[in-house]
Amino acid sequence: MGPWIKLVDAILFIFFLIITIAAPLIDFQTILPLDLYPTFLVDLKSWYAKEYGDFLVSEKPSFFVGIVWVEMFLQWPFAIASLYAIVMSKSWLNTTSLVYGGSCLSTMAAIMAEILGSERPSEKLQMMYFPFMVFAALALLRGLLPINSGKTVMISRRPILNRKKRT
């Protein structure tokens, strides 16, 4: 199972790196003042909304704005923490991946329900959002995998049965 976990970690590393960079530059334009961003980033987001027909980005419905706030204050910090945990081989990667994956999968379910339930989306738009749902599920599953560091954790130097009870 070790090589598979390494492969999953490598895939998640790329995903978390993209999220760590793209979220503040692109996604947070939905909730932050646009004058904080250079013109080319605002134009890039506008081009994306037109090219892919992303009505959520262009119309900014209230539930979508709420999802971006969740992304800013919960998902983005956990993506950064997971990125660090992968690079530094931290044992708490399972926890950060589980929290990120659960949160992202929940928000992506709401977004995909809106996209599939409306009659406006193109197949191009669906294919843009679908990979995020897959990566969120992968992060969630990574969080559920057992920690396999190959090290034995020693809690105490004395055997458990020989410990004296304190009175």
Q: What sign for the dihedral angle of Cα 114, 128, 135, 60?
A: negative
The pTM of the full predicted model, rounded to 2 decimals, is: 0.84
What is the widest separation between alpha-carbon atoms in the chain? 73
- CA 92 → CA 4, 78, 133, 143, 144, distances in Å? 18, 11, 22, 9, 12
Question: What does the domain layout of the chain look like in residue ranges?
Answer: 2-144
**pLDDT of 69-106, one tens digit each?**
999 999 999 999 999 999 999 999 999 999 999 999 99
pLDDT (tens digit, 0 to 9) for every residue of the chain, 167 residues total? 688 999 999 999 999 999 999 999 999 999 999 999 999 999 999 999 999 999 999 999 999 999 999 999 999 999 999 999 999 999 999 999 999 999 999 999 999 999 999 988 789 999 999 999 999 999 999 999 876 555 544 455 655 556 666 66
